[in-house]
Amino acid sequence: MIYLFAFLCLMLVGCGAASTDNVNPTEQPSRIVYGLTLSPSGFDPHRNESAELGIVMRQVYDTLVYRDPTNGNFVAGLASEWAISDDRLTYTFKLRQGVKFHDGSDFDAIAVGATLDRITNPDTRSSRALTLLGTYNGYEIIDRFTIAINLSEPFSPLLDSLSQVYLGIASPTQLARYSVERYQYYQSGTGPYKLVSYVPDDHLILERNPDYNWGPAFYQPAAIDVIEYRFYTTPATRFTALESGEVEIIGEIPPLTARTETGNSQIQIMPTAIPGQPLQYLINTQQFPTDNLTFRQALLFGTNRRGIVDAIFQGFSPVAWGPMTSNTLYYNRAVEERYAYDSTQARALLASIGYVDADDNGFLDHEGGDLELRVIMPTWGSIPEVTQLLQEQWGDLGIQVVIETVPDAPTLFSQVQEGNYNLVAFYTFGLDPAFLNSYFVTNGSRNWSRFSDPTLDQVLRDAIRQLEPGTRNNLYAQAQQIIMDNALIVPIREYVNLNTTSIQIEGLQFDPYGWFPLMTNVRLRS
């Protein structure tokens, strides 16, 4: 408690109290509470990668470009215009003038460069932002409001990357003032809201930026003066907090609760589909018994995904069939029904590679014991409930499933590095499927299936070099087919965030990445 009190004092001294600029003194500033469902290890978008941090920091930072939420097209952000060189190795951005950071300093090309320097500095230990930069090879400041970003090889997702909050432009003044670790408490962007305080595992507070007038066309002038974010990591507490009036907006309401409360006139349920990877289990192809393709295919045929979606997700989520969700760019519908549930087929495949239950104990035999799978399972996103059903379904096939629970992403990464697993549950969100390279290229940073195929490597590398949508579509269609032909994952469901608000909230809208609300557009009904 002493540490918490000191920390609160430090936050108040360092950030100051909420401003009341442009607020009628006879009125109370409008204020809402937004419930967060995960307390991530950090809220620095250049270092950390959770979607939860983006819910908050999307309001604090502007990006060079944006995707329009209505059609997904790229529109001007902090860059008013841009051009791509004929060799696709240089992107030149003309920057907006008259833009100020929250600390009062000017936005210009030097600020863009400082942000890029921070992300690429090894001391930052960037988890996502650095990956989003792809083949980044430095920048050139042409004049105060013009900067060129250089690539070593063509990287077609660059504009998509630059539109994401993880590449939000930060104040060089604040970056220089605070250490890599401390900056997250004193973040300064150019966005419609300012960070006032952040107390880990307790709350964050944002206040409206009264000077903000340079947002994209789909931003309305902000009407909410103060947004407080609180943490509700236990699913059972989320709807209770909303129903009691403790929060006005919260995501990831338990599906059964959402189904039960569908007719409640005092709340609004907004199922929001999230593009990217589905809830999936990556299969280790270098570990017995999942090193056998026929065995992996048996697991897929023996997975009743529809039953899982209906039981756990109450039909809110579509069944997933491949390594991308159906609302991700270049999704290939040819993978659908490739491994439709067929327990008879699953048993036949297991028998075809010699597995029998000779001792009649309900499990297939291996070297005098029972055939066993080891599954690494994090605790978020209903993964524990899904894993339990998989344990039952694969148990019916005669496969004993041993579950190892990990509390957080760092622990999961550590366990995966040891290699002693058959399956691991993990997924990434994104609109452009460039994320597949990290998971399925031979030397990908998250190639946890440990699969290596020169054809797949070439297809995925070609796909991020091409700009023409038709060409990319064909390449990604081929990649999805190869991944599923080799049974590298067990896809379960497409991620749908069950956002819920009080009836007083109107105008809530999410950007094309699904997770991140546009809080400038939110209004309170009078």
- CA–CA dist 457, 366 (Å, integer): 34
Q: What is the pLDDT of residue 91?
A: 98
Residue with tokens 């003044």: 173
User: What do you get for the CA distance between the two ends of the chain, in Å?
Assistant: 39
Dihedral sign for Cα 328, 334, 335, 341, please: positive
Confidence of residue 367 (pLDDT cuts 50, 70, 90): confident
Tokens 């059972």, located at residue: 236
**pLDDT at res. 526:** 79
pLDDT value at 352 more than 50:
yes
Contact of 49 with 127, CB cutoff 8 Å: yes
pLDDT band at 524 (very low <50, low <70, confident <90, very high): very high
What was the pLDDT predicted at 27? 58
Distance between CA atoms of residues 237 and 260, nearest Å = 15
Mean per-residue pLDDT, 242-262: 94
Cα–Cα distances (Å) from 95 to 78, 81, 107, 110, 274, in that order, read 6, 7, 9, 11, 30
Residue 276, pLDDT > 90, answer: yes
Residue 189 contacts residue 60 (beta carbons within 8 Å): yes
Q: Residue with structure tokens 């540490």?
A: 3
**Residue 54: per-residue pLDDT:** 95
Task: Spell out the CATH class of 2-255+499-524.
Answer: alpha beta
**Which of the pair, 41 or 56, is modelled with greater confidence?**
56
CB 361 within 8 A of CB 370: yes
* pLDDT at residue 408, as a whole number: 86
The pair of three-digit structure tokens given for residue 63, joined into one six-digit string:
């990006």
* Token digits of residue 298: 């048996």
pLDDT band at 28 (very low <50, low <70, confident <90, very high): low
Give tens-digit pLDDT for 473-510: 999 999 999 999 999 999 999 999 999 999 999 999 99
Which pLDDT belongs to residue 4? 35
Q: For 279-494, CATH number?
A: 3.10.105.10
Query: Does pLDDT of 2 surpass 80?
Result: no
| Residues 355 and 299: beta-carbon distance below 8 Å | no
Residue ranges per structural domain of the chain = 2-255+499-524, 279-494
* Residues 70-95: tens digit of each pLDDT: 999 999 999 999 999 999 999 999 99
Torsion of CA 183, 189, 193, 197, to 10 degrees: 10
Alpha-carbon distances, residue 122 vs 117, 125, 130, 166, 171 (angstroms): 10, 5, 10, 16, 19
Q: What is the mean pLDDT of residues 261-290?
A: 95
116 pLDDT above the threshold of 70: yes
Question: 192 near 519, Cβ under 8 Å?
Answer: yes
* pLDDT band at residue 409 under the 50/70/90 scheme: confident
- Mean residue pLDDT of the chain comes to 93
The model's pTM is 0.87
Does position 378 have pLDDT exceeding 70, yes or no?
yes
pLDDT value of position 12: 34
Kind and range of the H or E element at 485? helix 469-485
Cα–Cα dist 526/524, whole Å = 6
Average pLDDT over residues 204-220: 97
User: In this predicted structure, what is the pLDDT of residue 519?
Assistant: 97
CA 75 to chain centre: 22
Q: Are 292 and 350 in contact (CB under 8 A)?
A: no
- Angstrom CA distances, 166 to 184, 432, 506, stand at 13, 15, 27
